[in-house]
Amino acid sequence: MAEILLEHVGKTYPGGTQAVSDVSLSVADGEFIVLVGPSGCGKSTLLRMVAGLEDISAGTVTIGGRVVNRLEPAERDIAMVFQNYALYPHMTVRENMSWGLKNRRIPKDEIAARVEEAARMLELHPYLDRKPRALSGGQRQRVAMGRAIVRQPAAFLFDEPLSNLDAKLRVTMRGEILKLQKRLGTTALYVTHDQLEAMTLADRLVVLNGGQIEQVGRPLEVYHRPASTFVAAFIGAPAMNLLDARIEAGHLRLAGVDLGRVEGEARAVTLGIRAEDLQLLQSGGLPFRIDVIEELGAGRVVHGFVEDQPLCVSLPSGAELPAQLHLGVAPEALHLFDAITGKRLPQSVHRSAKVRA
Amino acid sequence: MTASPVVPSPFLRLRQWWTRPSAHPAKVAQFDRPLAPWLFVAPQLLIVAIFFYWPSVQAVTSSFYLEDPFGFGAAFVGLDNYREALSSTEYRNIAGFTALFAATVTALSLGLGLLLAVKADAVMRGAGAYKTALISVYAIAPPVVGLIGMMMFDMHIGPFTKAAALFGWEMRVGIDYRDTAVALITVAVWKQIPYNFIFFLSGLQAVPSSVREAALIDARSGWRRFRDVTLPLLAPTGFFLLVINITYALFDTFGIIDVMVKDKPANNPITLVYKVYLDGFKGNDIGGSSAQSVILMVVVAALTVAQFRLIERRVHYG
């Protein structure tokens, strides 16, 4: 149990590629932090620097009050779960879990007790004397978790641990990981590219882009107040609609339609609207031309255009839709971003006196 | 889903192929005429028959005869040739040296090959140059290796002899039995290291990096990581090389021994294969030489079976 502190951490590869730059983050004891971002955003590199599998080029990493920059991975008091499990193929499940403990000169009966406990928690008893080869993907992943648990480390590091599992198993294992982490109260750093996994697991999300932190916050906070167009587009499915709009004379206008009152000078802005915040209107509102409809069973996602700008709308399933729809949106559900930097603008949109929505 | 790490083993494939042929229903070719498949394998069969079966049968047959050195006639003598070989002190001494030679050469070339592979595997910069330098020795033909060895251990100009002299060891390769043995073993090991190096290196590179990283987190000591994780994963490669190296030490060192010992005075160490050659082609004792080669064949066959039975059981194939 420990907090993890990253201070101005950076990673430069030989040849000058900057994988991570100036990342500062403070993880509280027992917190579940998810590092999320597209591939190549530096999230795995960051995790591997905490683990000690990559050298730290700049800044310091502190685990439990100890600067670990120069410590070997085995000395950092962390346990890691890898994407492809990384089990020792020639050892039985029991040996896989106990080997790391043996190397730490933990007494035999203590090792046996910890393995027993982990096996009970993860329901691995029937497999203790099998080799990894004889296990399914989900079972292997459980063994990998068991190997991490028995170590009783200061922190768990997860590197996309569910990516190799099929969709159904992924949901089950996600729940198990979360339950386990809450029960053990161990600090966890979890890397994933899957925003759904990130939303459901995290106490706090860290969205990374191009080796830098875009936003840190609780999942719903990030969802409801994305700090940039990048976060807006990355978190949430379907992705948030980003449209070119204008502030004109104190009003926000999209496709000639007044969407509400807003402060500020006349300028171009990027307008973010979540697909589920749009509603069907009988008339007026935004004119919407349907292109493709994705039927999801519980609902449908309708893709189309407002003028020439693509937009998608989440609607309940139901009757056939006409080719032309009228859409309305509550002003408080609108997100404004700088058209050039993509950063969130401080203004919020208010209902116009004569708004037609 | 990723497959569990597999360290390539030629034996495994062989074994799977012959123990479970039905498990992998391979392509089955259909021939219209029953003769066609035989025609396809005929060239291979012919080569095997001419260069392996026929000489083997000849060797076994002639081992029961005492042949006139000039080829004028042969008399059936039953097991006399075997009896004579096995009861001769000289033969036993040579067999003893052969065993020692094979064990030492195998152990040293496997050990050094593995050491170099582990070190080369850890090299990041200029890895290609190291590997090429280490592998290139493999391309040298055995007699040339023998020649180089002779120069290295030459009593007048050999750098090894001079180096030994610094420690007060007067090496007299070709004259002194022990000194010659040391030289033979050194040269034979030197020749075989690249072969083992290539296989161990590819075996090491087949160990998934995440498994190594997991080990890095689980164990602080590099030796423990090597002993408990890397080495067991290399075992299939090691077992394959063990069989190959013993065969090498017994048979393929002929060229080296021939060059280094031939025309030398005194009592120099030789291996059984070289004795077969000496007795048969220099001594013209075809019968005795044949009997020796049959004995050698039986010993090697027994050794290989024993290896498969005893050692392979403990080898973990990925």
Check pLDDT > 80 for residue A268.
yes
Residue B309 contacts A where some CB pair is shorter than 8 Å:
no
Judge if A112 and A25 occupy the same domain. yes
What average pLDDT does the structure give for chain B? 84
- Per-residue confidence band for B19, with pLDDT thresholds at 50, 70 and 90: low
Q: Which of A78, A89, A103 sits opposite B5 (nearest CB)?
A: A89
Extract the tokens encoding B52: 């392996």
A146 part of contact set with chain B, CB < 8 Å: no
ipTM of the complex: 0.84
Confirm if B63 and B298 have CB atoms less than 8 A apart: no
Residues A254 and A213 in one domain: no
Domains of chain B, start order: 91-314 (1.10.3720.10)
pLDDT cut 70: percent of chain B above it = 89
For B199-217, the pLDDT digits (tens) are 999 999 888 999 999 999 9
In total, how many domains does chain A have?
2
Q: Do the Cβ atoms of A53 and B228 come within 8 Å?
A: no
User: What are A55-79's pLDDT values in tens digits?
Assistant: 999 999 999 989 999 999 999 999 9
Residue type, B75: A
Instruction: Tell me, yes or no, whether A165 and A294 share the same domain.
Output: no
| Same-domain pairing of A308 and A206 | no
pLDDT per residue as tens digits for the range B264-281: 776 789 899 999 998 888
Nearest CB to A99 within list B4, B218, B316? B218
What is the pLDDT at residue A219? Answer: 94
CA B192 → CA A167, A274, B135, B153, B304, distances in Å? Answer: 51, 68, 10, 18, 19
pLDDT of residue B263: 79
A310-323 pLDDT, tens digit per residue, is 999 999 888 788 88
Confidence of residue B176 (pLDDT cuts 50, 70, 90): confident
Chain A, chain B: beta-carbon pairs less than 8 Å apart: 75
The lowest-confidence range among A34-38, A351-355, B282-286 is A351-355
Same domain, A209 and A263: no
Q: Is the pLDDT of residue B7 over 50?
A: no
Q: How close A266 gets to chain B, by Cα (Å)?
A: 54
> At residue B257, what is the residue type?
I
B25: pLDDT strictly greater than 80? no
Using a CB-CB cut-off of 8 Å, the residues of chain B touching A137 are: 1
- Beta-strand ranges (E) seen in A255-323 are 257-261, 267-273, 278-281, 286-295, 299-306, 309-316
Identify whether A283 is part of a domain: yes
Do the domain assignments include residue A288? Answer: yes
Q: How far apart are CA B51 and CA B313, in angstroms?
A: 33
The amino acid present at B173, given as its one-letter code, is V
Q: How far is B307 from chain A (nearest CA, A)?
A: 20
Looking up tokens 């082609």 gives B281
Do A189 and A279 have their domain in common? no
* A234-247 confidence digits (pLDDT tens): 998 889 999 999 99
CATH number at residue A172: 3.40.50.300
> Does B21 score more than 50 pLDDT?
no
Q: Which of A43-52, A55-64, A279-288 has the lowest mean pLDDT?
A: A279-288
Distances in whole angstroms, Cα of residue A232 to Cα of each of A216, A331, B58, B311? 13, 17, 84, 60
Cβ–Cβ gap A87/B211 under 8 Å: yes
Edge-to-edge strands, sheet with A299-306: A278-281, A324-329, A286-295, A299-306, A309-316
- Counting Cα atoms < 13 Å in the Cβ hemisphere of B38 gives 3
- In this structure, the answer to whether residues A30 and A149 fall within a common structural domain is yes
DSSP B52: I
Query: pLDDT value at position B27?
Result: 59
User: Residues A237-262, buried b or exposed e (16+ Cβ, 10 A)?
Assistant: eeebbbbebbbeeebbbbbebbbbbb
Residue B86 CB contacts under 8 Å (≥ 6 apart), including other chains: B92, B295
Q: What mean pLDDT is predicted for residues B204-232?
A: 92
B232 touches chain A (CB under 8 A): yes
Strand pairing category for A286-295 and A324-329: antiparallel
- Residue B103, token pair as written in the block: 């064990």
The residue among A34, A79, A335 whose CA lies nearest residue A203 is A34
A90 touches chain B (CB under 8 A): yes
Domain for residue A351, yes or no? Answer: no
Range of the domain at A249: 241-338
DSSP state, residue A132: G
3-state DSSP helix/strand/coil % of chain B, to nearest 5? 70, 5, 25
Q: Which of B217, B232, B316 sits opposite A74 (nearest CB)?
A: B217
Q: Average the pLDDT over each of A23-32, A38-47, A255-264, A294-303 and give the range with the smallest value.
A: A255-264
Q: Are residues A12 and A83 in the same domain?
A: yes
More confident: B69 or A211:
A211
Nearest Cα neighbor of B91 from B225, B275, B253, B299 is B275
* Domain contains A349: no
Torsion on CA atoms A94, A96, A99, A101, rounded to nearest 10:
-80
Min Cα–Cα distance to chain A from B175, Å = 50
Q: Which two tokens stand for residue B296?
A: 């050698």
- Taking an 8 Å cut-off on Cβ atoms, the answer to whether B4 and A88 are in contact is no
Identify the band that residue B54 occupies on the pLDDT scale cut at 50, 70 and 90. Answer: very high
What confidence score (pLDDT) does residue B76 get? 86
Is the per-residue pLDDT at A34 higher than 90?
yes
